Amino acid sequence: MKSETEHVPCVKVEKRSGEEIRRALKDRNLLRTDVKITSDDTFVYLPLIRALNETELREIGAAELITRDFAVLEQRKSIEDIVGFKPSYEVIGDIAVLTEMVNETKEQLVAQALMERHNNIKVVAKRLSPVEGVFRTRKLELIAGESRTETIHKEHGCTYKLDLEKVYFNPRLAGERNRVASQLDRSTEEEILDMFAGVGSFSIQLAKRAPQSHVIAIDINPDAIRYLEENIRLNRVSNIEAVEGDVKEIFWKFRNTADRIIMNLPKSAYVFLHEALSMLKPRGGIIHFYTMESDTSHEALLTKAQEKFMENVQELSEEFHLDSVEIRDARKVKAYAPYAYIIGIDAVIKIIGAK
């Protein structure tokens, strides 16, 4: 019997990015799961609930929107059908982490359902603490599967080895990392400084995207630096310098160095603006700044974030002889609580006398 087909919108993506973009679509409830994903020798075709706008395409890292015939799948039980509710979880490598509390009597049921429905999941864990301390780590408890918290995560053609209890890593920032990397190309020659690099989730993607550039990746967590150095080898990039240390104490080594700075420390990035401005080149440069803001209004949320950023930079204007500060883009990156979001700001800083 011939399978039923349906003509639906989809994104056409390179195979190496297929899983990351599939996950990004799923997180945004944009992926159709009742039709079969198809592929050819080069591309994967991911079916959509609806056609995406340009902003959504950019956020997930997909370039081409088309329509195509897909085979309609026979319906099978979802995890929600099996356990009676929709558990909240994220997948990093082959580890699924429950991100919200589940009744202990149902934890094993949820874990087994996840592993049965997703063959790639080998470990299921739950969060026991928020991200805490200067090393940005959290405690986990294993629920099912193999007894480990180390995994290998793949995203936009990059490979990251990491231990979820020893380092910080957020898979839901995949689209944002790709968005920043897409601002560069193979001809870009920049000095890029990642102030809170972790295992290299921004740094490695930027280094691969712009091999003529040089990336300085700083982190205070020695375990993060150890994994970063291993990830540099795994990804075969040679244009990254891994630096262990507190950026407050070592920033002077990189004074007047950077064309572009990544400040992915949403809870306290403002505390490090002085160091960031010190490390920009004498003519200025670009800062990718991340902060947290809350409001019920989308517009008010972005306005508050931009105004606070401008106020904090202007306080340092005289010391650093700033000529102009232009916010090129401000956007919601990720929700972290009801009406509360990580906000990303791209700012161009120019210094007096720069040409």
> pLDDT tens-digit profile of 174-201?
999 999 999 998 898 999 999 999 999 9
pLDDT at 170 over 90: yes
Q: Give the span between the Cα atoms of 82 and 286, in whole angstroms.
A: 49
pLDDT in tens, 222-240: 999 999 999 999 999 999 9
Backbone angles phi, psi at 324, to 5 degrees: -155, 155
pLDDT (0 to 100) of residue 1: 44
Of the pLDDT bands very low, low, confident and very high (cuts 50, 70, 90), residue 101 is confident
Q: Where are the domains of the chain?
A: 5-71, 79-148, 170-351
Q: How many CB atoms lie within 10 A of CB 298?
A: 10
Q: Give the span between the Cα atoms of 164 and 148, in whole angstroms.
A: 9
Asked if residue 291 lies in contact with residue 333, where contact means CB atoms within 8 angstroms, the answer is no
For domain 170-351, the CATH superfamily is: Vaccinia Virus protein VP39 (3.40.50.150)
Strand order in the sheet with 95-98: 89-92, 95-98, 123-127, 140-145
pLDDT (0 to 100) of residue 355: 54
Q: Give the span between the Cα atoms of 174 and 176, in whole angstroms.
A: 5
Q: Which residues neighbour 270 within 8 Å (Cβ) at sequence distance 6 or greater?
A: 291, 308, 312
CA dist 78 → 98, 116, 117, 197 (Å) = 17, 11, 8, 37
pLDDT (0 to 100) of residue 221: 98
Q: Give percent above pLDDT 90 in the chain.
A: 78
The residue that leads in pLDDT, 129 or 336, is 129
Question: What DSSP character marks residue 82?
Answer: H
What mean pLDDT, rounded, does the chain reach? 93
Q: Measure the N-to-C terminal CA separation of the chain; round to a whole number of Å.
A: 70
Backbone angles phi, psi at 315, to 5 degrees: -60, -25
**What is the fold, at CATH topology level, of the domain defined by 5-71?**
Alpha-Beta Plaits (3.30.70)
pLDDT (0 to 100) of residue 256: 97
pLDDT at 81 over 60: yes
pLDDT (0 to 100) of residue 238: 96
pLDDT at 60 over 90: no
3-state secondary structure of 303: helix
Q: Which residues neighbour 4 within 8 Å (Cβ) at sequence distance 6 or greater?
A: 71, 72
Q: How is residue 324 written in tokens?
A: 């102009």
pLDDT at 2 over 70: no
Q: Give percent above pLDDT 70 in the chain.
A: 98
Nearest to 275, CA basis, from 255, 245, 257, 305: 255
Helix axes 174-181, 18-27, angle to 10 degrees: 120
Interstrand relation of 214-219 and 240-244 (parallel, antiparallel or unpaired): parallel
Task: Label residue 177 exposed, middle or buried (CB < 10 Å: 0-12, 13-18, 19+).
Answer: buried
Class of domain 79-148: alpha beta
Q: How is residue 328 written in tokens?
A: 């090129």
Q: What is the average pLDDT across 101-121?
A: 89
pLDDT at 213 over 80: yes
pLDDT at 250 over 70: yes
pLDDT (0 to 100) of residue 3: 65
Predicted TM-score (pTM) of this structure: 0.79
pLDDT at 315 over 70: yes
Q: Give the span between the Cα atoms of 244 and 66, in whole angstroms.
A: 45
Measured CA angle at 108 (ends 107, 113), to 5 deg: 100
Can you give the length of the chain in residues? 355
DSSP per-residue codes, 177-216:
HHHHHTT--TT---EEEETT-TTTTTHHHHHHH-TTSEEE
Q: Give the span between the Cα atoms of 218 and 22, in whole angstroms.
A: 30
pLDDT (0 to 100) of residue 110: 93
